[in-house]
Amino acid sequence: MAKNIADASAVIAFLDASDSQNKWATAQFSRFDFLETCSPALAEACARMRFAGLEETLPLKMVRAGFLRVTFDESKNITRVIELMEKYSDLPMDFADACLVAMSEEQKDSVVLTLDSDFKIYRRHGRGHIPMLSP
């Protein structure tokens, strides 16, 4: 079964009605029963909500409702996360992005919902592009 993975940028666009990509994000999120993410992306989404003056617990409420599921164990995948962050240190790749790339490597059919253009540069398993949904 494919993983449908949400980056913090997509979560923010979905939750923030004033975001320029809100309509796109709403349309994408309506396609799925739930989306998967990782704790670092969830933390980033909460922080960015607060920075935007919005309710920072909204991403957490999506988890509570079951629409977002935190399914990635950073501690079990830390070696791969470090490898990715070191490989893409010139971008730089942050912790959340490294976790999302590693998540996409766990399932061949994975798709990442993101507004982050760096996912066009990142490669999974060294050479494979990351299937993504982006405006």
Instruction: Give dist(CA 50, CA 57) in Å, integer.
Output: 9
Q: Indicate whether 133 belongs to any domain.
A: no
pTM exceeds 0.85, yes or no: yes
Number of domains in the chain: 1
Banded pLDDT at 50 (limits 50, 70, 90): very high
| Residues 79-135 pLDDT 10s | 999 999 999 999 889 999 999 999 999 988 899 999 999 999 999 998 899 999 999
Q: Indicate whether 131 belongs to any domain.
A: no
Return the H-helix or E-strand segment holding 70.
strand 68-70
Q: Indicate whether 108 belongs to any domain.
A: yes
Phi-psi group of 111: left, alpha or beta (phi > 0 → left; psi -120 to 50 → alpha; rest → beta): beta
Q: Indicate whether 134 belongs to any domain.
A: no
Range of the domain at 102: 4-120
Maximum CA pair distance of the chain?
Answer: 39
Q: Indicate whether 13 belongs to any domain.
A: yes
Question: Residue 1 above 90 pLDDT?
Answer: no
Q: Indicate whether 62 belongs to any domain.
A: yes
Where residue 94 sits, what CATH number does that domain have? 3.40.50.1010
